[in-house]
């Protein structure tokens, strides 16, 4: 087995800031930065609604199974199972992203692996494929975005784990180890690590005026004036923001 590279983890402040903005706004803002699509299509929420997670990506790549490369049964040589090794890398707040090739017959992780992941402080998983043992997995309350469920274990059919912390394709987009994943009820997106600081800065501005616009629209305000916020409405927005700050200071 080749040594598994570590990832560079972003600051907690950066991660929390992106998490607060949410996937819908982030996807819109990063598009304006030149990233056409960051949404991982296919994996969907498999837990109770209302949860948002964000964190750096640990990646796991699966490939079509071939006997001369991977000939072990499920427990023949546990340490040959690279899906274990991505979990060994987990630090609090990390998100595991799995390129399982959209396979609907292989259960990448089950109850015991996910119990270990939760115990390590993992924030959530995005799997372009399936997990197994969902009746017990659901009790762990680990945030999951997956394509579906199966009783089969990970190498029972056509897949084998192939590499950890390498570039992967998940839901049709490229995910590099250490990229920041943000996932909520809309789904999961990847924020390229090199773009994260700029996205937080621009997304925070958007997020701020949207709060004001929402208030005005609920009061019957003109959509053309308040979404997006028109230039001649920025003065009233700045006045509102100043009043909010004054109120917070008491």
State residue 27's pLDDT score. 97
Q: Which pLDDT does position 96 carry in this prediction?
A: 98
Strand partners, 95: 57, 124
DSSP 3-state of 133: coil
CA 39, CA 191: separation in Å to the nearest integer? Answer: 9
Name the pTM for this structure: 0.91
In three-state secondary structure terms, 93 is: coil
Residue 206: what pLDDT?
82
The tokens describing 3, both together, are: 């040594």
Indicate the DSSP class of residue 213: H
pLDDT of residue 82: 86
User: Would you state the pLDDT for residue 239?
Assistant: 93
Give pLDDT tens digits along the chain (250 positions): 567 999 999 999 999 999 999 999 999 999 999 999 999 999 999 999 999 999 999 999 999 999 888 876 655 666 777 889 999 999 999 999 999 999 999 999 999 999 999 999 999 999 999 999 999 999 999 999 999 999 999 988 999 999 999 999 999 999 999 999 999 999 999 999 999 999 999 998 888 898 899 999 999 999 999 999 999 999 999 999 888 888 888 7
- pLDDT for 72 equals 60
What is the reported pLDDT for 81? 77
What stretches of the chain show up as alpha helix (H) in DSSP? 12-21, 23-32, 82-88, 111-119, 134-140, 196-218, 223-226, 234-249
């Amino acid at each position: 087995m080749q040594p598994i590279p570590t990832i560079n983890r972003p600051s907690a402040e950066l991660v929390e800031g992106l998490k607060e903005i949410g996937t819908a706004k982030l996807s819109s803002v990063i598009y304006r930065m030149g990233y056409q699509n960051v949404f991982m299509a296919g994996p969907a929420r498999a837990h109770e609604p209302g949860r948002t997670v964000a964190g750096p990506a640990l990646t796991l790549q699966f490939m079509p199974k071939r006997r001369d490369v991977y000939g072990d049964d499920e427990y023949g040589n546990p340490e040959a199972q690279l899906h274990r090794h991505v979990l060994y890398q987990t630090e609090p707040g990390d998100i595991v992203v799995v390129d399982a090739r959209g396979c609907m017959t292989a259960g990448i992780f089950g109850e015991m692996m996910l119990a270990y992941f939760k115990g390590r402080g993992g924030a959530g998983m995005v799997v372009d494929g399936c997990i197994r043992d969902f009746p017990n997995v659901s009790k762990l309350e680990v945030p999951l975005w997956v394509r579906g469920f199966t009783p089969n274990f990970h190498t029972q059919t056509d897949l084998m784990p192939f590499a950890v912390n390498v570039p992967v394709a998940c839901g049709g987009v490229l995910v590099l180890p250490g990229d920041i994943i943000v996932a909520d009820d809309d789904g999961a997106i990847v924020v390229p690590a090199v773009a994260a600081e700029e996205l937080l800065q621009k997304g925070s501005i958007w997020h701020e005026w949207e709060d004001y616009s929402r208030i005005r629209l609920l009061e019957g305000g003109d959509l053309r004036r308040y979404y997006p916020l028109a230039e001649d409405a920025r003065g009233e927005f700045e006045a509102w923001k100043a009043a909010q700050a004054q109120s917070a200071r008491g």
